[in-house]
Amino acid sequence: MTPTDRATRRPHVGVTVLALILGVVSLAAGCAVVSPSAQTPAPEQEWEALSDEAVIAEDLVLVVFALKEEFGPENLLDTMLPVEEHASTALDVAGLGYLDGNDVGGQEYSLYFYGVDREAMWKRLEPIMATAPYPLARVELWPPGEDATPRVLSFDEE
Per residue of the chain (158 residues), give pLDDT as tens: 444 444 444 444 454 554 555 555 555 555 554 544 444 454 454 444 444 545 457 999 999 999 999 999 999 999 999 999 999 999 999 999 999 999 999 999 999 999 999 999 999 999 999 999 999 999 999 999 888 899 999 997 65
Instruction: Count CB neighbours of 76 within 10 A.
Output: 18
Instruction: Check: CB of residue 58 under 8 Å from CB of residue 144.
Output: yes
Written as one letter, the residue type at 124 is R
Burial of 4 (C-beta count, 10 Å sphere; 0-12/13-18/19+): exposed
Say how far apart CA 49 and CA 78 lie, in whole Å: 36
DSSP-H helix ranges across the chain: 3-28, 44-56, 76-94, 118-129
Burial of 96 (C-beta count, 10 Å sphere; 0-12/13-18/19+): buried
Instruction: Check: CB of residue 135 under 8 Å from CB of residue 65.
Output: yes
Say how far apart CA 23 and CA 57 lie, in whole Å: 48
Nearest to 150 by CA among 109, 129, 111, 119: 119
Q: Please tell me the predicted confidence (pLDDT) of residue 50.
A: 46
